[in-house]
């Protein structure tokens, strides 16, 4: 990518809307837009005040200055812009054709079509934001709930980066002291003993552990909780799904095996995103299509973070239900005894014989019961009974979590090296590796190939 190029892209989603925005950034920004923009006044665009909006028309010079649309042009000069370069945003009417035509003319006049995420990438490369803030932007766009949005916004304001940089500063100060003592033994520099080095490393490890302790909560808030509804055919799974969604999403009939494939829907419970999956009824079957659905149901049963096991309490337990109960014992499993109003054959005490479960409750899925119980399980999984602290930075990104764990591992190795009485050079090597991994999180020591890969996840115009 050539950062000296002037780039352009449509910044609004495809489709018809009230307003369409085309964003232009780079050194030739004013030059290119000026060839297309006709304003009412005579002052050239590049001489107009910063952070102002100009009214006029976009024309096509190749078609006799034909007017393409009536527009507003927003001027943002660098470095006080998102990319830290000169930026102009053209706000036109939100039709599909007009937005594309304006972009086409901009490209013809010398702009280059921006790559996915290139505007944000330029903001990063120009020092406007760090990598955690860049990744927070895509998390804001993809936020599934108010809570996941809150986590992303907290990352965007630099809270996480500040914490990581503080840890890096403490670490590099310790590394520098040790390296100076190694490289200049003749100088009158106070040497740190290995015991003193270990004493300074332990608080750094505590800071890393504190951040890693937030990882599970942050990941769940960012990605959502996979909740699988499992059970035998006709137990009431689809009725429960519809009740939780408050709409008839899944087909409900008295015919066993109606749901042959998994149905997934996203809902928000207590501000937490939940991926709700209605699975095929688990039973032995010769039907090839139904068998595929049953196999998928078993996979979800193993991978889900919460399992909702629906039992038809009006009928004796089947071998399949017994197998489900055995396999989900000790996990985050809610057992709903459904249809008990028809005469309970299965009771709480009978379920207890098959293992330990988070909740065993009698409900009527047809009447919409069970949401309160599921909501409590969701909150317990995310917050674990602790009070939510809005000011705390959370690790929610898998890349960040992995790198933080690697940094912790390197520092633990440093302590082990000290305890083993190894030379100080080995200790410093592991400490520097930890410092590098922390720098990979913020982008302070990130490789260019990794930067390209990260920004390729962004949409065009962002």
Q: What is the CATH number of the domain that holds 349?
A: 3.40.50.300
Q: Name the binding residues.
A: 23, 89, 128, 234-239, 253-259, 278-281, 338-341, 462
Q: How far apart are the first and last CA of the chain?
A: 15
Q: Name the binding residues for Mg(2+).
A: 238, 259
pLDDT tens digits, 95-111: 889 999 999 999 999 99
- Is 205 in contact with 430 (CB distance < 8 Å)? no
Task: Give mean pLDDT, residues 285-306.
Answer: 73
Is the same domain home to 34 and 122?
yes
- Say whether pTM exceeds 0.85: no
Predicted confidence band at 35 (pLDDT cuts at 50, 70, 90)?
very high
CA distance 413 to 379: 36
Taking Cα atoms as reference points, which of 231, 225, 256 lies closest to residue 327? 231
Q: What is the pLDDT of residue 433?
A: 92
Per the model's pLDDT, the better-predicted residue between 173 and 340 turns out to be 173
**Which H or E run contains 333?**
strand 333-338
Is the same domain home to 96 and 22?
yes
Task: Give mean pLDDT, residues 19-40.
Answer: 93
Q: Is residue 87 in a domain?
A: yes
Is the same domain home to 160 and 78?
no
Q: Is residue 39 in a domain?
A: yes
Per the model's pLDDT, the better-predicted residue between 380 and 55 turns out to be 55
* Highest mean pLDDT (candidates 214-228, 240-254, 371-385, 439-453): 214-228
**Which H or E run contains 291?**
helix 288-303
Is the same domain home to 287 and 332?
yes
Q: Name the binding residues for (6S)-5-formyl-5,6,7,8-tetrahydrofolate.
A: 23, 89, 128, 462
Which of 104, 130, 156 marks a domain boundary?
A: 130
Q: Is residue 462 in a domain?
A: no
pLDDT tens digits, 302-316: 878 888 888 888 888
Place of tokens 């991926």: 275
* Highest mean pLDDT (candidates 152-156, 205-209, 281-285, 448-452): 205-209
The average confidence (pLDDT) of the chain is: 82
Whether residue 438 has pLDDT greater than 70: yes
Per the model's pLDDT, the better-predicted residue between 7 and 456 turns out to be 7
How far CA 314 is from CA of 237, 254, 278, 373, 457, in Å, comes to: 15, 14, 21, 21, 50
Whether residue 447 has pLDDT greater than 60: no
Q: What is the pLDDT of residue 387?
A: 45
Q: What residues are paired with 90 via a beta bridge?
A: 22, 73
Q: What is the pLDDT of residue 411?
A: 93
Q: Is residue 422 in a domain?
A: yes
- 147-151, 173-177, 201-205, 254-258: which range is least confident on average? 254-258
Q: Is residue 269 in a domain?
A: yes
Whether residue 458 has pLDDT greater than 80: no
Whether residue 172 has pLDDT greater than 60: yes
Is the same domain home to 162 and 299?
no
Strands (E) located in 294-433: 306-312, 333-338, 359-362
Return the exposure string of 190-204: e unless at least 16 CB atoms fall within 10 Å of the residue's CB, then b. Answer: eebebeebbeebeeb
Whether residue 225 has pLDDT greater than 50: yes
Is the same domain home to 349 and 208?
no
Return the exposure string of 303-315: e unless at least 16 CB atoms fall within 10 Å of the residue's CB, then b. Answer: ebbbbbbbbbbbb
Per the model's pLDDT, the better-predicted residue between 100 and 176 turns out to be 100
Q: What is the pLDDT of residue 398?
A: 85
Q: Is residue 450 in a domain?
A: no
Is the same domain home to 296 and 403?
no
Predicted confidence band at 55 (pLDDT cuts at 50, 70, 90)?
very high
Q: Considering the chain, what percentage of its residues have pLDDT values greater than 70? A: 85
Number of domains observed in the structure of the chain: 3
Predicted confidence band at 252 (pLDDT cuts at 50, 70, 90)?
very low
At CA 158, angle to CA 156 and CA 161, rounded to 5?
120
Q: What is the pLDDT of residue 399?
A: 87
Taking Cα atoms as reference points, which of 190, 179, 202 lies closest to residue 423? 179
Whether residue 259 has pLDDT greater than 60: no
Q: What is the pLDDT of residue 451?
A: 60
Predicted confidence band at 424 (pLDDT cuts at 50, 70, 90)?
confident
Is the same domain home to 206 and 231?
no
Is the same domain home to 365 and 415?
no
**CATH number for position 149:** 1.20.120.430
Is the same domain home to 291 and 243?
yes
Taking Cα atoms as reference points, which of 10, 136, 1 lies closest to residue 460? 10
Predicted confidence band at 182 (pLDDT cuts at 50, 70, 90)?
low
Q: Name the binding residues for GTP.
A: 234-239, 253-259, 278-281, 338-341
**CATH number for position 116:** 3.30.1360.120
Which of 130, 151, 166 marks a domain boundary?
A: 130
- Is 230 in contact with 301 (CB distance < 8 Å)? yes
Q: What is the pLDDT of residue 38?
A: 92
Q: Name the binding residues for K(+).
A: 234, 253, 255, 258
Predicted confidence band at 286 (pLDDT cuts at 50, 70, 90)?
low
Which of 108, 130, 152 marks a domain boundary?
A: 130
Q: Is residue 458 in a domain?
A: no
Whether residue 401 has pLDDT greater than 60: yes
Task: Give mean pLDDT, residues 39-47.
Answer: 84
Predicted confidence band at 74 (pLDDT cuts at 50, 70, 90)?
very high
Q: What is the pLDDT of residue 258?
A: 44
Q: Is residue 454 in a domain?
A: no
Q: What is the pLDDT of residue 185?
A: 54
- Is 82 in contact with 90 (CB distance < 8 Å)? no
Is the same domain home to 379 and 410?
no
Whether residue 267 has pLDDT greater than 70: yes
Predicted confidence band at 68 (pLDDT cuts at 50, 70, 90)?
very high
Which structural domain, as residue segments, surrounds residue 30?
7-130
Q: What is the pLDDT of residue 32?
A: 94
Backbone angles phi, psi at 51, to 5 degrees: 60, 45
Task: Give mean pLDDT, residues 74-81.
Answer: 92
Is the same domain home to 196 and 233?
no
């Amino acid at each position: 990518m050539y950062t000296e190029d002037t780039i352009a892209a449509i910044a609004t989603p495809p489709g018809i809307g009230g307003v369409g925005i085309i964003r232009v950034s780079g050194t030739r920004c004013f030059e290119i837009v000026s060839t297309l923009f006709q304003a009412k006044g005579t002052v050239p665009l590049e001489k107009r005040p910063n952070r102002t909006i100009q009214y006029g028309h976009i024309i096509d010079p190749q078609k006799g200055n034909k007017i393409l649309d009536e527009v507003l042009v927003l001027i943002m000069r660098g470095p006080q812009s998102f990319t830290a370069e000169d930026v102009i945003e053209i706000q036109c009417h939100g039709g599909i054709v007009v937005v594309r035509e304006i972009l086409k003319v901009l490209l013809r006049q010398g702009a280059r079509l921006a790559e996915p995420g290139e505007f944000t990438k330029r903001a990063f490369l120009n020092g406007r934001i760090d990598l955690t803030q860049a990744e927070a932007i895509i998390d804001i766009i993809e936020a599934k709930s108010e809570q996941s949005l809150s986590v992303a916004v907290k990352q965007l304001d630099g809270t996480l980066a500040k914490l990581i940089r503080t840890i890096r500063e403490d670490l590099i100060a310790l590394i520098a002291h040790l390296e100076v003592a190694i490289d200049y033994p003749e100088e009158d520099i106070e040497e740190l003993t290995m015991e003193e080095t270990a004493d300074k490393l332990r608080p750094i490890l505590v800071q890393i552990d504190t951040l890693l302790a937030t990882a599970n909560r942050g990941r769940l808030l960012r990605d959502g909780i996979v909740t699988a509804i499992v059970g035998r055919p006709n137990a009431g799974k689809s009725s429960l799904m519809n009740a939780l969604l408050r709409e008839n999403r899944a087909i409900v009939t008295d015919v066993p095996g109606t749901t042959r494939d998994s149905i997934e829907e996203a809902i928000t419970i207590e501000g937490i995103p939940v991926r709700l999956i209605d699975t095929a009824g688990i039973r032995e079957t010769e039907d090839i299509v139904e068998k595929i659905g049953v196999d998928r149901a078993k996979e979800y049963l193993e991978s889900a973070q919460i399992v909702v096991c629906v039992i038809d309490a009006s009928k004796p337990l089947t071998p399949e239900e017994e197998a489900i109960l055995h396999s989900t014992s000790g996990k985050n499993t809610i057992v709903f005894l459904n249809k008990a109003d028809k005469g309970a054959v299965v009771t709480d005490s009978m379920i207890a014989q098959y293992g330990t479960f988070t909740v065993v409750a009698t409900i009527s899925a047809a009447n919409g019961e069970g949401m309160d119980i599921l909501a409590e399980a969701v909150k317990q999984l995310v917050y674990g009974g602790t009070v939510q602290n809005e000011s705390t930075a959370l690790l929610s990104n898998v890349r960040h979590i992995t790198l933080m764990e690697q940094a912790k591992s390197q520092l633990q190795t440093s302590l082990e090296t000290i305890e083993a009485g190894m030379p100080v050079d080995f200790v410093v090597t592991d400490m520097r590796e930890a410092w590098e991994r922390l720098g990979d999180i913020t982008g302070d020591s990130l490789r260019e190939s990794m930067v390209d890969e990260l920004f390729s996840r962004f949409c065009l115009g962002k």
